[in-house]
Every structure is written in C-alpha cells, then in structure tokens.
Amino acid sequence: MARRWPCVRWWAALLMAACSPLWAAEPDADEPGDFPFPTLQQEHRNALSSCADPYTWPVVQRPAPSQTRERRLWDARKSYTPLDWEFNASAQGLCARPLTHPPEASLPFAPPNGAAALTTTTATLQVADGWLYGRLMHYVGGGLYWADAQGGQARRLVDEPALGLLLQPRGDVLALTGFAHLGSAEGGLWKLHKADAGWRAVRLNRWPERPCAWTQARDGTLFVSFPTQLVVGPPQGPFRTLWEGDEGMGCRTRQVHLDEGRQTLWWSAGPFVGALDLQNLALRHHLRSEALLQAYSPAWERAVLREAHNPAHEHHP
C-alpha cells in the first residue's frame, strides 16, 4: 500500500494542474487588453477632468532592463490602459486632462465604398466641395477618397488607407497613409491639391512602416512617430530620425501636442504622459496621480507576464 501513495499523489497533482484554471480564474479576461479597469471608469475620469499643467507633474522613470518584471508591467500599462490624454494650450500655459470620449472619425453620410461591416473610417476632413476621408477595409487594404457633400459621388484618390489628414495654409492637404497586417507594413505621405478636374494626389514620401502619430509645427515641419522611432522634416523631405527606441510615442495614441514655445513634444501614454525635449532630446514620463497605478489587479499582472513568454503576442509600448 505504501508504494501506491506516490502514484496517487502524482495523479492528484496532475488533476489539480489540469483543473486549476477553473478555480483559480478571476472574472477578468485572459488577455491584458481585455481586463476591466474600475478606477478608470467615468467617475475617476471626472475626478481628473480639471485641466492641470503636466510640466508640474512628478517625473517617473521606466524600470531598468535588468528589472525584467517591472519593466514589462510598465510597458504594458502604457499599451493597454484605456486612458487617453488631451492637451490644450492657453494663456495660462499647457494643460492636460483625460479624454472622456476619444474622438472618432465620422462622416455625415454612409460611405458609398465598401460594406460598412467590413470597413472603418480612419480619417475625415471637410473641404469646400465635399469630404476627404480614409477607409480601412479589414484584411484587404483600404483607400483615400473624395466624396461630395451628400456622398452621392465618390472617387478613390490613393490605394492606401488615410490615417491622418492635415489642412495646409494654402488649401492643400497632407495625407498620412499606412497599413499593417500579418507582419507586413507600409506607410506614405501624400500631398492632395484641388485641380480643375478634381482632387489629385502626389506621393511625397514612402515609409517601410505604418505611421502611428503625428503633429505639425507652424512652419510646416512634420513630426511622425513609428513603432520604434520618431522622424522630423519638411513634408517634401528629407526626414531625419529624431528619436529611436521603444520608449517613445510608439503606436499607443495619436494624442500629440507640440509646445513650440518650450520646444517640447507631448503625447498620451496610458496612465502617463510622455515628453521629449526637442533641444536636448531628453525623454521623460510624468504621472498626474499615483491613484492611476492602482487600477491593475494581480490577475492583470499575471496575464501580462504570461504574455511576455509568448512571442506571438509581442507588442510595442
């Protein structure tokens, strides 16, 4: 009988290992991006809704590479936290507050191209003779289009989905386009101008990655962020790399603000706001409230660390 006990204990351990997810599971999802964040719900957003100067917020440091666990959790907070910050300049200075309703691209009519269930409007701009807009057709690409004010007539201008449309002082439009799917990606910068026969598109730049975030200075200088780098230059090029690494803007947000007076680029980074001093290229992160770091349950942390061991789920912060 004594020799049977090791076998019994082995089978018991095996059964517990197989069934442990059933009794250890919490009401959260298995993927970090699907977890609820109760303290970031509407009540918490309202509590932080007053404008505050991010220059005065405490600076927090990203953990060193040797702190593997802490660094992974830091990056995941930037990537997965459902919180976006908006920046506004006033006579009193710069202020930042959480977005209660992140802006969405929309049109006053149903786009005449593509089934609505399979496409997403990615950018819109109203012009004198109608609308310019981008459509992302899931798994099959997309395009940049012009349509009249009622959407009765439409024409494709570029065979790449427009992610951003920037109106220029002389009436031209800059279009940032891009697409990323199954390991392949591309991006571009186009100049749109109105001719007698309608809108025309001319490619200014081609990039090997999809642009993630952008902003433009008063002199026309364009700042464009990619997953691991930030480039700057005039629309016609050439562009130079201003920052390279995984601590920058990444693809987390398109909420970007250029403080030209203090030469600082600001962006939303989950519970943090990021800032890049354009004079000395010093990068830092600010945190308005320590309460923002209390929204992460132990189950969420386990999901993040579990994902870190699965290369198929790698992401850029």
Q: What is the CATH number of the domain that holds 259?
A: 2.130.10.10
Task: List pLDDT tens digits, range 198-218.
Answer: 999 999 999 988 898 899 999
The total of structural domains in the chain comes to 1
pLDDT at 2 over 50: no
Residue 143 falls within a domain, yes or no? yes
110 falls within a domain: no
* Banded model confidence at residue 245, pLDDT cuts 50, 70, 90: confident
In-domain check, residue 44? no
Q: Is the pLDDT of residue 310 over 90?
A: no
Q: Per the domain annotation, does 125 fall within a domain? A: yes
Q: Give Cβ neighbours of residue 80 (< 8 Å, ≥ 6 apart).
A: 32, 33, 35, 270, 304
Is it the case that residue 28 has pLDDT exceeding 50? no
Domain assignment present for residue 199? The answer is yes
pTM score over 0.85 = no
Residue 226 lies in a domain: yes
Residue ranges making up the domain that contains 178:
116-286
